[in-house]
Structure 1
Amino acid sequence: MAKIFCIANQKGGVGKTTTAVNLAAGLAGHQQRVLLIDLDPQGNATMGSGVEKAELDMSVYQVLIGQATVAACVKRCESAGYDVLPANRDLAGAEIELVDLDERELRLKAALALVGAEYDFILIDCPPALSLLTLNGLCAANGVIVPMQCEYFALEGLSDLVNTIKQVHANLNPDLMIIGLLRVMFDPRMTLQQQVSEQLLEHFGDKVFKTIIPRNVRLAEAPSYGLPGVSFDKSSRGAKAYLDFGAEMIQRIQQM
């Protein structure tokens, strides 16, 4: 069965979608069968995987409200070799419709149970808020990968996220845990970033991934071409870092 991970952080602009798309590509580059789920109505992970969100007949929205199966909605990211369960603006309406449905926070988990045997990894790109969509992701997942910048405000946001994960663990998903913290957009020339990185290692120890994702222009350019950074420029520092991160994830899962 697939290992299911949320890419989550309640703070916006911390590289969640970049991490989700490039980790999917990195894992696929290591011959893993990967499904990337876009749970954000903005559909950035969908577009970044080369899927045109405006042309979708069915998306994760239909899956959540019970009108379609995951298998019926999946698209392929041809450039990187992983599957995508796409999203578009229809998903914003799911928040309202889910409220009246039975077991509303478990809809995604139930849908993924039907395809879990077909993948090694299922990655869920969550929106930057604690919403019913994020809750569905957290209830379906085995663990959470937290991408974060090494800045002061990121530490404050991290404490909020840790509390949220503890609440979901206690009340809805006893399997949920933090798999690791991923330092992203890292610039070693900035003293503050080095200090925050050291604080993370001090407080979280081996929960901090060894791989560090550097600030990299090629990663930022890739989505405008509908490509993961790993496919856009394999020789870039960012692409190599995400391939390393994919290898580290595989190793960490084998040790769990």
Structure 2
Amino acid sequence: MPKKIVSVINQKGGVGKTTTVVNLATSLAAIGQKTLIIDLDPQGNASTGVGIPQNKRSSTIYNVFSKNVEIKDAIHHSGISNLDIIPSAVELAAAEVELSGQRNLLKEILKNIHNDYDIILIDCPPSLGMLTINALYASNSILIPVQCEFFALEGLSHLIKTYETVIQNIDGNQDLEIEGVLLTMYDKRNNLTEEVEIEVRKVFGEAVYKTVIPRNIRISEAPSYGLPVMMYDIACPGSIAYINLAKEFVQRNGIVI
């Protein structure tokens, strides 16, 4: 299997989940890690974010789940060296029903590309349905972006309960670990940001990345150009933060580059 299969997950939308997938994947690819994004969010924003618009998605992860397409035939090459993606489609929303009882389908599918990538990042939908459960069963670890806002910890506690349920399930994924907790939309001018950071670090300790992702207009602008932020503006604070996140990710996992 790849060195790492990581689900980037938070059931709350708007926390920087897809942005983190796109930009962490790009940073890892830039340092030579053969990286694959699996876009499991029916909104398909990760696909758009690496330059694969709707009309360029000849096959998607939905087609793979439906057994109409082999997984290798659903892989699209981004314009970024070492970075591929299996895109999403709006039809994927129907898979929540169609996947009923099939928790291990994604895990079985990924065995067909087990030697092809160093790292697979799964962009989960902002819900805890069957798509997310499939991602959790297929993964080695989960990365949790947390927006620096009032309700962050409440949402995080629900997510951790789901994580614990999966690893305790008799046929679940007992090896699933917390890769890390990532503070996003960080604004050091805001007292609430500091309060959330203190509380999250108190609860999760070393699991919280030292790197924080700032509020940055360039991060918001880049997806509209179909680009990761470091390809849109390499010098902006958002790019520097995601590059630092990749360095920390590599160090934590003992990856030799």
TM-score by length of 1: 0.95
Task: Find the counterpart in structure 2 of residue 106 from structure 1.
Answer: 104
Aligned residues: 252
Matched with 2:199 is: 199
| Residue pair 1:23, 1:242 contacting (<8 A) in 2 also | yes
Corresponding residue SS for 2:212:
strand
Q: Are the structure 2 counterparts of residues 80 and 223 from structure 1 closer, same or farther at C-alpha, using a change threshold of 3 Å?
A: farther
Give the aligned partner of residue 21 of structure 1.
Answer: 22
Q: Distance in 2 between matches of 1:31 and 1:21?
A: 16
Q: How much does 1:80 deviate? A: 5.6
1:126-137 equivalences under 5 Å are 126-137=124-135
User: In structure 1, what is the equivalent of residue 237 of structure 2?
Assistant: 237
Aligned equivalent of 2:41 = 40
Residue equivalent to 1:76:
77
Instruction: Please give the alpha-carbon distance, in whole angstroms, between the structure 2 residues aligned to 1:140 and 1:6.
Output: 9
Where 1:210 maps in the other structure, the secondary structure is coil
Letter in 2 for 1:136: N
Gaps (5+ residues) in structure 2?
none
1:175 is paired with a residue whose SS is coil
Q: Give the AA of the match of 1:191.
A: N
Aligned partner of 1:141 among 105, 129, 139 = 139
Compute the TM-score of the two structures, normalised by the length of structure 2. Answer: 0.95
Which residue number in structure 2 is paired with residue 116 of structure 1?
114
Shift of residue 5, structure 1, vs aligned partner: 0.3
Summarize the alignment of residues 50-89 of structure 1 with structure 2, pairs less than 5 Å apart: 50-79=51-80, 81-89=82-90
For 2:56 and 2:203, the matched residues in 1 are separated by 45
Deviation at 1:116, TM superposition (A): 2.1
Counterpart AA for 1:97: E
8 Å contact kept, 2:32–2:82: no
Q: Larger deviation: 63-72 or 223-232?
A: 63-72
Q: CA separation in 2, counterparts of 1:80 and 1:38? A: 18
Find the aligned partners of 1:248 and 1:122 in 2 and give their Cα distance: 17
**d(CA) in 1 for partners of 2:81, 2:22:** 10
- Corresponding residue for residue 150 of structure 2: 152
- Flag as ranges the 4+ runs of structure 1 deviating above 6 A: none
- In 1, the alpha carbon distance for the partners of 2:56 and 2:201 equals 44
C-alpha deviations, 1:10-33, integer Å up to 9, x for none?
Answer: 111101000010010011111111
Q: How far does residue 242 in structure 1 lie from its aligned partner after superposition?
A: 0.5
Matched, 1:30 2:28: no
Check the 8 A contact 2:33/2:82 in 1, yes or no: no
Q: Deviations over 1:75-103 (max 9, x none)?
A: 1111464000101112112222222xxx6
- Give 1:10's aligned residue: 11
- Matched residue type, 1:188: K
